[in-house]
Amino acid sequence: MHTPSSFLNGQWVTGTGTPLTLLDPTTGDSIGQVHDEGLDLAGALSYGRTVGGPTLRSMTFAERGLILKGWGRAIHTARDELLDLARIDSGNTRSDGKFDIDGAAGTLSYYAYVGKTLGDVRVLAEGEPEPLTRSSARMVGHHYNVPRHGIAVHLNAFNFPAWGLCEKAACAILAGVPVLAKPAVETSLVAARIVELWHEQGLIPDGVLQLLVGEPRDLLDHLEGQDCVAFTGSGNTGRVIRTHPRVLALGIPVNVEADSLNAAVLGPDVEPGSDTFIMAVADISRDMTQKAGQKCTAVRRIVVPEAHAEAMVEALGERLADLKAGDPADRAFRVGPLATAKQHQDILAGIAALEDAHERVWGDPSARPDTGYFVAPQLFLAKGGENAALVHKSEVFGPVATVIPYDGTSESAQRIVAAGGGGLVCSIYSNDLKWARPTITGLMPWHGRIVWGSKKVHDQSIGPGTVLPNFVHGGPGAAGGGEELGGERGLSFYWQRVALQGDRGLIERLMR
Ligand code: NAP
């Protein structure tokens, strides 16, 4: 029986009250309990600000990078143990677990390298000093990025307990801001074990990283003006956090990474059976089934010229036939269960709604084990382009996607994709620059990332669903309007940019 604790105020603490039960999604059996009442969350936020903040600000980027390097190594060393936990905690197959856990270690190691390259300075200047007047070069203005003097509260979604913890923490810590991280309570075992490993190995300077295992309770009521909140989860919760009275009253920055109805668009030039077509099919089937479709970047809408819609369904069906839902410990099965009972109920309700509005064209809903939170991969067909009911509004967060036939014009493809209201990523498959130019440039403002598949790179795709630390992650509108990662860009959320004006020599001496 696992009883993960919280790491707050420099110690491991367990709350009181009625416990929350953790369940193994493969069997539905109880595997642990979380006690989270009565934890001193106000004290933890204050401890981070007063102890962790000064420690980090006294360090150079290179020194902060060394913390991240140690964390990445610790995860890598404990990889097998963490993969086992990811299976019982989240129902991850070994491959799904690696996506989360290796992704976490890789992101830490990438940001350790960014820290090394930023080097032995504590604050970053931006650009060059600019004279304020024509008559004198002495009076200048220069922009500096300084770490906020608060704590970063990180609220993470259930689906990436390792990566979510690490991608957010890497940016904040490297920027010089301490962190209180809260994994989704139902899949908190992996995040709790990672922080435990770091603590056991002496890798967490006092107050620099704290962990809340439990519900958020009154956490946000204790925010102060220099704090910030980075949230990943549903759009509804994002709105609750953005409009929290304390957030509104103090103007606290909030970064939201929310739902996304990511689209894959096939250009009219792409013939079934061609390299580019096969690339699209491989990307879509991988995205639909990796982590049982519980990826914010997974393809939900497949936009295909009418003439090729049948061929696309057939080709996807052939691939998906090999990707069966079943026990994640058995390598014969490539699709594990959904992570929680609530997700299972939500996804079954989402599929029932799709059944009412659209047509199931591939997949047998009963092709799954009777116990546990399994859902068999399924494909739907929605007619009506941008006016198709439901498919542009409802994110079914499982191994499910919908084919939307279109007339092959760039305008129509753009309207259909934009009907999703803004997304994290869109993949576009075409070798025709005349069609691709308006389509890609027209869709860029609606997305944080665009992946262009073509015959030149058909064998080099890592898929649109993979988030890399050197490229931004986030998207406008329904996707939350946030932005994370992107190398050094990911640090700016944790900084105040200040224009410092005065005597050039004095400013240089001050900031040296
Ligand atoms: P969720 O229910 O919104 O919860 C996300 C996190 O917020 C959890 O840690 C949750 O804690 C916490 N939370 C809930 N209510 C809160 C409140 N009032 N104040 C502070 N924290 C609160 O989302 P989820 O079910 O875990 O995740 C599924 C959704 O996340 C999907 O819609 C998916 O699209 C989205 N997602 C987006 C991205 C992205 O990068 N854009 C990545 C992954 C997932 P508890 O666990 O204690 O409730």
Average pLDDT value for residue range 130-144: 90
Mean pLDDT across the chain: 95
Whether the CB of 258 sits within 6 Å of ligand 1? yes
Bridge partners (DSSP) listed for residue 37 = 16
- Decide which of 279 and 259 is more confident: 279
Contact 55, 208 (CB under 8 A): yes
Q: What angle do CA 445, 451, 452 make, to 5 degrees?
A: 105
Q: What is the Cβ-side half-sphere exposure of residue 244, based on CA atoms within 13 angstroms?
A: 25
**Per-residue pLDDT averaged across 155-181, rounded?**
98
Residue 95 has pLDDT above 90, yes or no: yes
pLDDT in tens, 195-219: 999 999 999 999 999 999 999 999 9
pLDDT digits (tens, 9 = 90+) for 69-81: 999 999 999 999 9
Residue with the smallest CA separation from ligand 1 atom 30 is 233
Q: Is 257 a catalytic residue?
A: yes
Mean pLDDT of 231-235: 95
Task: Please give the C-alpha separations between residue 502 and each of 128, 358, 383, 426, in angstroms, as whole numbers.
Answer: 14, 65, 63, 46
- What are the C-alpha distances in Å from 483 to residues 23, 62, 168, 472, 490? 32, 24, 11, 6, 7
Residue 156: CB within 6 Å of ligand 1?
yes
| Alpha-carbon distances of 29 from 187, 359, 371, rounded to whole Å | 14, 34, 10
CA distances from 424 to 111, 112, 122, 339 (A): 22, 25, 32, 22
Tell me the best of 232, 297, 447 to mutate to test the pocket of ligand 1, counting ligand atoms within 8 Å of each CB and taking the most. 232
At the second CATH level, the architecture of 40-258+482-511 is 3-Layer(aba) Sandwich (3.40)
Identify the helix (H) or strand (E) that includes residue 285: helix 275-289
pLDDT tier for residue 142 given thresholds of 50, 70 and 90: very high
The alpha carbon of 372 is separated from its chain's Cα centroid by a whole number of angstroms, namely 25
DSSP-derived secondary structure letter, 176: T
Per-residue confidence (pLDDT) for residue 383, from 0 to 100: 87
Model pLDDT for residues 14-38, shown as the tens digit of each residue: 999 999 999 999 999 999 999 999 9
Indicate which residue of 296, 386, 395, 426 is catalytic.
296
pLDDT at position 137: 84
Q: What is the pLDDT of residue 1?
A: 87
Give the integer Cα–Cα distance in Å for 61 and 57. 9
Please write the tens of the pLDDT for every residue from 320-340. Answer: 999 999 999 999 999 999 999
**How many percent of the chain have pLDDT more than 70?**
100
User: Atom 20, ligand 1: which residue's CA is nearest?
Assistant: 216
Contact 211, 11 (CB under 8 A): no
- How far does the centroid of ligand 1 lie from the alpha carbon of residue 151, in Å? 20
347 C-beta closer than 6 A to ligand 1: no
pLDDT at 133 over 90: no
* Whether residue 257 has its Cβ less than 6 Å from ligand 1: yes
Residue 184, ligand 1, Cβ within 6 A:
yes
pLDDT of residue 461: 81
Residue 135: what pLDDT? 81
Among candidate residues 167, 186, 257, 483, the one labeled active-site is 257
Is 262-468 in the same CATH topology as 40-258+482-511? no
pLDDT, position 199: 98
pLDDT one-digit tens code per residue, 100-122 = 999 999 999 999 999 999 999 99
Angstrom distance (rounded) from CA 356 to CA 377: 18
Does 408 have pLDDT greater than 90? yes
20 lines ligand 1 (CB under 6 A): no
* Res 103: pLDDT: 97
Would you state the pLDDT for residue 460? 87
Note the pLDDT of residue 448.
Answer: 97
145 pLDDT higher than 90? yes
Angle 79-90/61-77 helices, nearest 10 degrees? Answer: 70
On whether the CB atoms of residues 231 and 155 are closer than 8 A, the answer is: yes
Rounded Cα–Cα distance for residues 276 and 427 (Å): 12
7: helix, strand or coil: strand
Per-residue pLDDT tens digits for 336-387: 999 999 999 999 999 999 999 899 999 999 989 889 999 999 999 998 888 8
Model pLDDT for residues 436-473, shown as the tens digit of each residue: 999 999 999 999 999 999 999 998 888 899 999 999 99
Provide the CATH number for the domain formed by 262-468 in this structure: 3.40.309.10
Query: Is there a catalytic annotation at residue 130?
Result: no
- Cα(227) to centroid(ligand 1), Å: 20
Our separate counts of H helices and E strands in the chain read 15, 21
Would you list the domain boundaries of the chain? 40-258+482-511, 262-468
Nearest CA to ligand 1 atom 8: 184
Residue 13's CB is within 10 A of a number of other CB atoms, namely 18
Ligand 1 pocket check for 350: Cβ under 6 Å: no
Query: Cα of 290 to ligand 1 centre, how many Å?
Result: 19
pLDDT for the residue 136: 78
Query: pLDDT (tens digit, 9 = 90+) per residue, 298-319?
Result: 999 999 999 999 999 999 999 9
- pLDDT above 90: percentage of residues in the chain: 93
Q: Pick the closest to residue 76 from 113, 117, 107 (CA basis).
A: 107
**Ligand 1 site, residue 159, Cβ cutoff 6 A:** yes
The pLDDT value recorded for residue 229 is: 98
Taking residues 40-52, report their average pLDDT. Answer: 98
* CA 255 / ligand 1 centre spacing (Å): 13
Question: In angstroms, what is the span from residue 83 Cα to ligand 1's centroid?
Answer: 22
Output phi, psi for 501, to 5 deg.
-115, 135
